[in-house]
A and B are shown apart, each in its own frame.
Chain A
Amino acid sequence: MSTETAVRPREGALDARVPPGPIERKWERRRFEMKLVNPANRRKYTILVVGTGLAGGAGAASLGELGYNVKCFSYHDSPRRAHSISAQGGINAAKNYRNDGDSVFRLFYDTVKGGDFRAREGNVYRLAELSGNIIDQCVAQGVPFAREYGGLLDTRSFGGALVSRTFYARGQTGQQLLLGAYQALERQIAAGTVRMFPRTEMLDLVVVDGRARGIVTRNLVTGAIEAHAGDAVVLATGGYANVFYLSTNAKASNATAIWRAHRRGALFANPCYTQIHPTCIPVSGEHQSKLTLMSESLRNDGRVWVPKRAGDTRPPDRIPEAERDYYLERKYPSYGNLAPRDISSRAAKEVCDQGRGVGPGGRGVYLDFADAIARFGEDKIRERYGNLFDMYERITGENGYKVPMRIYPAAHYVMGGLWVDYDLMSTIPGLFVGGEANFSDHGANRLGASALMQGLADGYFILPYTLGHYLAQVTPAGDDTRVPAFDAVRREVQDGVRRLLAVGGSRSVDSFHRDLGRVMWELCGMARNDAGLRKALAEIPALREDFWRNVRVLESGEELNQSLEKAGRVADFLELAELLVLDALHRTESCGGHFREESQTEDGEARRDDERFAYVAAWEYTGTLSQPRLHKEPLAFEHVHLATRSYK
């Protein structure tokens, strides 16, 4: 029996269902229109939440509090370890505690503009509107945000904003926010409303009668393949930046959950919108397994420069002021070192391409704190960024207080993800997607400190409403998995695992992942062009074929087997990569993190093409990887007028 996929969306039928009316009333209106589930009936509904990062952890805890029967899954040994834990810099909120001109509308405006006019206005406005509630919620949970001596919350400014709206907890904001959500989740686990399945990886989605009705998982300790049924499924499984192999993401971060859902019919939106972060520690050699981000909050006090002359190999302290090029300050006088990520990253690439890069291999630029230390003293700088300087020292063996740090861009975040409507529901009814896994709010470029905001807005304040509305319209189906559809998917998953183990080739999984990363970084990284993308389209399927002929996965499927886990993820990356490149090839404009060399201004800035590309590209899986079908969601800008993004 063949397994079910969702009904394919009709051409031109991609409706985001954003409520009509003035932008500041849309969410209120939507909440009022929503159907509610009688509190006494909530426990009859089972919700499967996959992922316990900020989005999934916050969502599962909040849904549990409401009284739904929640089952929550994570491949980690504990919900506290999700990749969200490593976010450093901070979280935005339009509190305007600083009286410096911030407002919900300004945060909305900055986000739409920062996203290079490729985000959906209605969603972004709601995000800005909810941002303040997030800070309230987190403080109530005991999140130790930085404070002033008077006991009030401190804020700082962050890449791409001229107001000070970023709340932070030293350099460990993600950790503290996640622990807040984790603790709320553990509280619900103790209360019995949430059942947690740690070390359990979702390997497929089960669709019954066109609706998302369950998932199939593998127990990572015993290898057991199991089906779980529910009335709705939430994917909060994070981003896919590890398609580049080297990235700032945690090693296990992967695309399997959303990719499997895509293959079952969920449209994948804007896969080519990837963010390259400008301030990471440069690659030190072949052994490199991941790249470490140095929070860009460092750019508040650090100055970025390279030597003026190509090939200048003098140590930094021997290069006189007049022979240094503070290129961000020179090119973008009003934003200077705080220029947005995409712009800063490309500028770094450009100076390195000119032969002015520093450090081994010439792929690096200086981030220099000498001026800030002279002005505020080393202690003040240590108080602000001590843990980052320590981390830098551990990795490079260099003292950033004495010698300028070296940084280089690295793959960091993905704006693309599963397409969702205003309610965060994908094109498969009953399948909701939150956090980095969806595409919703950041357009073609995400501003610093707004992923945490989005993940928590989705989890705490949006999904609990929109899921309720969906569930109010379906009869509880219970958690019976003895329906043929479940058996069929379970068998498919089992076969997939067996197939990986049966290849019996000679190359490790990692070696394929590295190769894929190289192709993606070289040909579809910071700058992309037609010829390069076409080359990638030839190389990726070849690599995929090689993988299925030559990969070596030892040991069995009935035990803890880390190579097997990785193999499944890399197999999916090898498929997703092709879609990413196809999307990049089709979008011949430059926008945000997607830079097409063919579409730039005379001074090398990105040139958008609003006439042809002011839409969300949502791809449908057709069964043939090289031929996905494109659906377009047109974007209308009624409140933020289309303009060339300028940070000069």
Chain B
Amino acid sequence: MNLTLKVWRQKGAGAPGRFVTYEARDVSPATSFLEMLDAVNEGLIARGEAPIAFEHDCREGICGSCGFVINGVPHGPRRGTTVCQLHMRVFEDGDVLTLEPWRARAFPILKDLVVDRSALDRIIQAGGFISAPTGSAPDANAILAPKEDAERAFDAAACIGCGACVAACPNASAMLFTAAKVSHLGLFPQGQPERWDRARDMVRAMDGEAFGSCTNMRECEAACPKEISIAFIARLNRDLVKASFRPRRAAAAAGV
């Protein structure tokens, strides 16, 4: 099949950007979206033009590196699928596809389709962990966790940190990402001691970045390639309410 791509090209952070049109010819339905872009890039290199920069690594939907917006939809049209796992058989001959980077103030564009998502790491730094210094753990089976809770925790832990939820949100909020981590850890017995501080600190860190606030638009859930449920946002909100009745514990949750 043949496709027309309108791709956001931007030489670097702060540089002006614009859409440039490229033709993708003889694309096999068995190729992945990124392989289709690889072929476009080979063509560009052959013509002496700069290839399109886009991020990717595992190409298996698990590392969270990839991600851009296809015709207004983060990661493209297939539900529960990262762009690296998207295959060309979902498109039709003659389709016109607009590709642009995540658009969010908290994710500055570095080049073309590549953005800086380090704000997500900083949210984790604020409390997205259980303090368990190496060597201090009891026997694994000394901690019992009901299977249902463990499964639910897993559903939240499946987040790959891609940032599509932020890109999809009209407010560019990182609430789904934050709620997923708070829920994952808060559903385990070993996550209880830091549970309330964690919720408070991570949300505070999120607010301290350039993310917007959550107004329940639910776009994040629809865009999330791991189908993380917004029920976790409700859970986080409940935790925040409960946390507000408790005094904050030790000053630095992140101690040595």
Residues of A within 8 A of B (CB): 58, 61-62, 64-65, 67, 76-83, 85-86, 95, 97, 132-133, 135-142, 144-153, 169-170, 172, 175-176, 179, 182-184, 186-191, 193, 198, 221, 250-252, 284-285, 287-290, 292, 390-391, 394-395, 397, 460-461, 464, 506, 508, 510-511, 552, 554-555, 559-560, 562-563
Given A80-B161, A397-B89, is A191 in contact with B65 using a C-beta cutoff of 8 Å?
no
Q: Which segment, of B182-190, B210-218, B238-246, faces chain A?
A: B182-190
Given A149-B147, A172-B62, A289-B34, is A95 in contact with B110 using a C-beta cutoff of 8 Å?
no
With an 8 Å Cβ cutoff, the count of chain B residues facing the other chain is 86
Q: Which segment, of B98-106, B125-133, B228-236, faces chain A?
A: B125-133
Report whether A77 and B129 are in contact in the complex, using a CB–CB cutoff of 8 Å.
no
Residues B124-177 near A (CB distance < 8 A): 124-126, 128-141, 143-147, 150, 153-154, 157-158, 160-161
Report whether A140 and B42 are in contact in the complex, using a CB–CB cutoff of 8 Å.
no
Contact of B39 among A138, A149, A287 (CB under 8 A): A287
Inter-chain contact count A-B, CB under 8 Å?
A: 229
Contact of B125 among A65, A150, A190 (CB under 8 A): A190
Return chain A residues, CB-CB under 8 Å to B61. Answer: 391, 394
Contact of A78 among B120, B147, B190, B191 (CB under 8 A): B120
Nearest Cβ on chain B to A209's Cβ, whole angstroms: 32
Report whether A391 and B85 are in contact in the complex, using a CB–CB cutoff of 8 Å.
yes
In the bound assembly, the distance between CA atoms of A290 and B185 in angstroms comes to: 34
- Does B20 count as interface, using CB distance less than 8 angstroms? no
Given A391-B85, A560-B114, is A191 in contact with B184 using a C-beta cutoff of 8 Å?
no
- Does B30 count as interface, using CB distance less than 8 angstroms? yes
Report whether B11 and A559 are in contact in the complex, using a CB–CB cutoff of 8 Å.
yes
- Does B250 count as interface, using CB distance less than 8 angstroms? no
Given A287-B35, A563-B51, is A140 in contact with B158 using a C-beta cutoff of 8 Å?
no
In the bound assembly, the distance between CA atoms of A138 and B137 in angstroms comes to: 8
In the bound assembly, the distance between CA atoms of A64 and B129 in angstroms comes to: 15
- Does B117 count as interface, using CB distance less than 8 angstroms? yes
Return chain A residues, CB-CB under 8 Å to B130. Answer: 140-142, 183
In the bound assembly, the distance between CA atoms of A391 and B61 in angstroms comes to: 9
Report whether A137 and B137 are in contact in the complex, using a CB–CB cutoff of 8 Å.
yes
Nearest Cβ on chain A to B7's Cβ, whole angstroms: 15
Report whether A288 and B35 are in contact in the complex, using a CB–CB cutoff of 8 Å.
yes
- Does B209 count as interface, using CB distance less than 8 angstroms? no
Q: 6 A-B Cβ contacts within 8 A?
A: A85-B62, A140-B130, A144-B157, A169-B154, A179-B157, A563-B45
- Does B6 count as interface, using CB distance less than 8 angstroms? no
Report whether A562 and B53 are in contact in the complex, using a CB–CB cutoff of 8 Å.
yes
Report whether B134 and A285 are in contact in the complex, using a CB–CB cutoff of 8 Å.
no
Report whether B121 and A251 are in contact in the complex, using a CB–CB cutoff of 8 Å.
no
Contact of B129 among A76, A135, A186 (CB under 8 A): A186
Return chain A residues, CB-CB under 8 Å to B36. Answer: 287
Q: Which chain B residue shows the least CB distance to A286?
A: B28
Report whether B125 and A187 are in contact in the complex, using a CB–CB cutoff of 8 Å.
yes
- Does B74 count as interface, using CB distance less than 8 angstroms? no
Return chain A residues, CB-CB under 8 Å to B128. Answer: 183, 186
Contact of B48 among A67, A182, A221, A554 (CB under 8 A): A554
Given A137-B134, A508-B45, A560-B53, is A187 in contact with B129 using a C-beta cutoff of 8 Å?
yes
Q: Which chain B residue shows the least CB distance to A58?
A: B134
* A175, A190, A221 — most chain B CB neighbours (10 Å): A190
Return chain B residues, CB-CB under 8 Å to A76. Answer: 57, 65
Q: Which chain B residue shows the least CB distance to A81?
A: B63
